[in-house]
Amino acid sequence: MAQGILVFIEQRNGQVRKSSLEALSEAARLIGNVGGSVSAVVVGQNVKGLTAEISKYKPAKIFVVDSGDFANYSTEGYAQAVTEAVKKADPAFVFSAQTSMAKDLIPRVAARLDAPIATDVTEIKSEGSSLTAVKPMYSGKAYGVYEFASPLVFLTLRPNRFALAAADAGHQAQVEDLAVAAGNIRAKVGEVHAAKGQTIEVSEAPIIVAGGRGIKGPENWPVLQNLCDVLGAALGASRAVVDAGWIDHQHQVGQTGKTVSPQLYIACGISGAIQHLAGMSSSKVIVAINKDPEAPIFKHATYGIVGDVLEIVPKVTEELKHMNGKN
Amino acid sequence: MKIAVCIKSVPDTEAKIKVAGDSKNIDTADVRFITNPYDEFAIEEALKLKEKFGGETVAIAIGGNEATEVLRDSLARGIDSAIHVKDAELENLDPLSTAKILANVIKEGGYDVVFCGQQGVGGDNSAVPSMLAEFLDMPQVAMTVKLEVTDNKFKAEREIEGAHEIVEGNLPALFSAQKGLNEPRYPSIKGVMAARRKEIAVKDANALGVAGNFSADKRKMRLKQMVMPPERPQGKLIDGDVDTQAKTLVKLLREEAHVI
């Protein structure tokens, strides 16, 4: 009988994604209720070395699909590999982080196995051995609680929402090589181009500094970027400035952009249109800096400053540098 | 070239969402329904391919009366014909069921290209395109931001974290459209007039041969309850001159909120 939880561990360029380890941590927390054991699967070329890091988050077993066929991500190749791992592990649930790879891959695997999927899950509740998934709808304007009637269920978990367990270097997971023939890959990935100037990805960042119309023009992004650099934050943007062509869509936060749940969201010169609020209102702490005291963003902010972003942000950056210097 | 575009009617992104009395739907009283914003990019890309290669474009939507409007809208933009899957039994489907029904509609059509929006704003699942590609046994590119088609080959760019991936392959294939793919056109007056004369083929569960297969009790994923997000507590306004504001903010973030 299907039992336990299998976690898909995403790696790119030999780096395990932190959000995958968050999913693994959540699986370990839930396994007592679900029954069975936690296993993980990692796919790629020369990925066996990653099992030491994955092992610290206490899966009982790690399936490794390691071959030149998987040097680059491809939907069909990876779908084949993950499907084989699911068949081998025979879990009741498959977890993954909700990433762009997951959006492409995990529903395809679920369809192949005729299983339901809930994506971008922000909370998992257990009722006996069955799990219900809570996920944002309408970009977080509402939340849906889903239940499942299937021996196999796929859940993709929103980054930053599930706490990373303490790493246990002493834990040794059993490692099992899985030989999978990738089969006929009809859509092949060639080159990968880094996006312009993007260092930290908005959807996974624990801190986001986002700019709107109040920054007055694209020439002022460096003011926000300096603050990002000091905080190790990602640069976000409102729809208005993306549509105005001030910055690439990859930075857009909100409905029709990215929905985010960072620890800290600093909204600079963003008035707080309903579409923007939808995408960021589940941030733990929200700072709003805006000239207009009536801006809707202040109703959602933990801390608000009425004033000019271009005056305040450099002062905040300076103060943080000063503080870091003292440490 | 025969091109299918899957579209969906969704609440306006500017709409406030309220949960209805049954706790399973939204209150649609003051909500305007629009074409799912990502589907607009899918429609536009279909029209561009047709302009280049000739052929036929078909829009497909599952839904109640509100779907008629968005199908008319796609016809007004220049889509040739429309299929409306309309049946009370097929409302509020989960992604797996939606993908199966769309595959059922698309399979017999002999399409070279299938377009979808990368997600429907509402369920926010981003799951149907990949599931549909699997059921159609087609290669796929999710979150496409650039597409070139020549001689039945495609070269697409897809958005990944901090980068773009270039994906190449042969048609037939499925693409889910992400913002950035193109600038959607608006319907012209002429288009709106022409759309009135175009036919929308309506199919119910019987016509599709799926009657009874997707009823609520057969679905593997069910919405148990819809809830509103928790209210945020009243925040603090930081006063003083610019220096004081900056210092106070950093202090609060560090000592009270513990986030830096």
- Which of B11, B129, B245 is facing A307, going by the closest CB pair? B245
What's the count of helices (H) and strands (E) in chain B, helices before strands?
Answer: 7, 13
- Token duo for residue A61: 């077993």
Residues A207 and A218: their CA atoms lie apart, in Å, by 21
- Which of B138, B179, B243 is closest, CB to CB, to A256? B179
Chain A contact present for B31, CB below 8 A: no
What is the model's pLDDT at position A188? 94
- The whole-angstrom distance between B186's CA and the closest CA on chain A is 16
Establish, for the pair of chains A and B, how many residue pairs have beta carbons separated by less than 8 Å: 282
A238 contact partners, CB below 8 Å, separation of at least 6: A210, A211, A212, A213, A252, A253, A254, A270, A273, A276
Contact residues on chain B for A118, CB-CB shorter than 8 A? 125, 221
B169 touches chain A (CB under 8 A): yes
Which tokens hold the place of A15?
């780096």
The DSSP letter of residue A172 is -
Query: DSSP string covering A215-273, please?
Result: G-SGGGHHHHHHHHHHHTPEEEE-HHHHHTTSS-GGGBBSTTSB----SEEEEES----
8 A C-beta contact, residue A215 and residue A310: yes
Contact (CB<8Å) B14/A107: no
Chain A residues inside the 8 Å CB shell of B137: none
Class of residue B206 by CB neighbours under 10 A (exposed 0-12, middle 13-18, buried 19+): exposed
For A316, which of B142, B220, B250 is closest by C-beta distance? B250
**Given this model, what pLDDT does residue A183 score?**
87
**Token pair listed for B91:** 């409302």
- Chain B, window 186-215: residues with a beta carbon less than 8 angstroms from a chain A beta carbon: none
Q: Which residues of A touch B136 (CB under 8 A)?
A: none
* Contact criterion met (CB below 8 Å) for A44 and A11: yes
Instruction: Test A303 with B253 for CB contact under 8 angstroms.
Output: yes
Contact A221, A196 (CB under 8 A): no
**A52 contacts A124 by C-beta, under 8 angstroms:** no
- Judge whether A119 and B103 are in contact, CB under 8 Å: no
For A3-32, letters b (16+ CB in 10 Å) and e give bbbbbbbbbbeeebbebbbbbbbbbbebbe
Residue A129: other Cβ atoms inside 10 A? 12
Its ipTM equals 0.96
How many DSSP H helices and E strands does chain A contain? 9, 18
The burial class, CB within 10 Å (0-12 / 13-18 / 19+), for A302 is: buried
Structure tokens at B202: 């309506």
Sign of the CA dihedral A198, A201, A207, A210?
positive
Residues in chain A closer than 8 A to B173 (CB atoms): 186-187
DSSP string, B62-84: ESSHHHHHHHHHHHHHT--EEEE
By C-alpha distance, the chain B residue nearest A194 is B163
Closest in A101, A191, A255 to B166, CB measured:
A191
pLDDT in tens, B135-194: 999 999 999 999 999 999 999 999 898 889 999 999 999 999 999 999 999 999 999 999
pLDDT score of A197: 60
Beta strand pairing call for B81-85 and A303-306: unpaired
Residues of B within 8 A of A235 (CB-CB) are none
Count CA atoms closer than 13 A to A280's CA, side-chain side. Answer: 39
Beta bridge partners of B6: B60, B116
Which residue numbers in chain B have pLDDT < 50?
none
A195 Cβ neighbours under 8 A, 6+ residues apart: A248, A250, B162, B163, B164
* Residues A317 and B255: beta-carbon distance below 8 Å: no
Distance (Å, whole) CA A165 – CA A160: 12
Reduce the DSSP state of residue A64 to 3 states and report it: strand
Which residues of A fall within a CB distance of 8 Å from B253? Answer: 264, 285, 287, 303
Q: Tokens 């800096």 label which residue? A: A289
Contacts of A106 in chain B (CB under 8 A): 127, 130
Output the pLDDT for position A276: 96
pLDDT, residue A200, reads 82
B5 lies within 8 A of chain A by CB: no
Of A76, A116, A137, the CB nearest to B122: A137
Cβ of B37 within 8 Å of Cβ of A256? The answer is yes
Q: B254 at the A interface (CB within 8 A)?
A: yes
Using omega within 30 degrees of 0 as the cis cutoff, is the peptide bond preceding B187 cis?
no
Burial track B67-106 (b if 16+ CB lie within 10 A, e otherwise): bbebbbbbbbbbbbbbbbbbbebbeebbbbbbbbbbbbbb
pTM over the 0.90 mark: yes
With an 8 Å Cβ cutoff, are A136 and B142 in contact?
no
pLDDT, tens digit only, all 327 positions of chain A: 789 999 999 999 999 999 999 999 999 999 999 999 999 999 999 999 999 999 999 999 999 999 999 999 999 999 999 999 999 999 999 999 999 999 999 999 999 999 999 999 999 999 888 999 999 999 999 999 999 999 999 999 999 999 999 999 999 999 999 999 988 999 999 889 887 665 688 988 999 999 999 999 999 999 999 999 999 999 999 999 999 999 999 999 999 899 999 999 999 999 999 999 999 999 999 999 999 999 999 999 999 999 999 999 999 999 999 988 875
According to the model, what pLDDT value does residue A325 have?
81
Taking CB atoms and an 8 Å cutoff, what residues of chain B touch A94? Answer: none
Angle, helices B95-107/A100-112, rounded to nearest 10 degrees: 70
The distance of B111 to chain A (nearest Cα, Å) reads: 17
CB contact under 8 A, B242 and A192: no
Any chain A CB within 8 A of the CB of B94?
Answer: yes
Do A138 and B16 lie within an 8 Å CB cutoff? no
Which pLDDT score is estimated for A283? 95
SS3 B139: coil
User: Which of A110, A188, A250 is facing B159, going by the closest CB pair?
Assistant: A250
* Interchain contact B165–A (C-beta under 8 A): yes
- Contact of B242 with chain A, judged by CB distance below 8 Å, is answered with yes
Alpha-carbon gap, residue B133 to B138, rounded angstroms: 5
Report the residue from A75, A200, A304 with minimal CB separation from B140. A75
Asked if A146's CB is within 8 angstroms of B126's CB, the reply is no
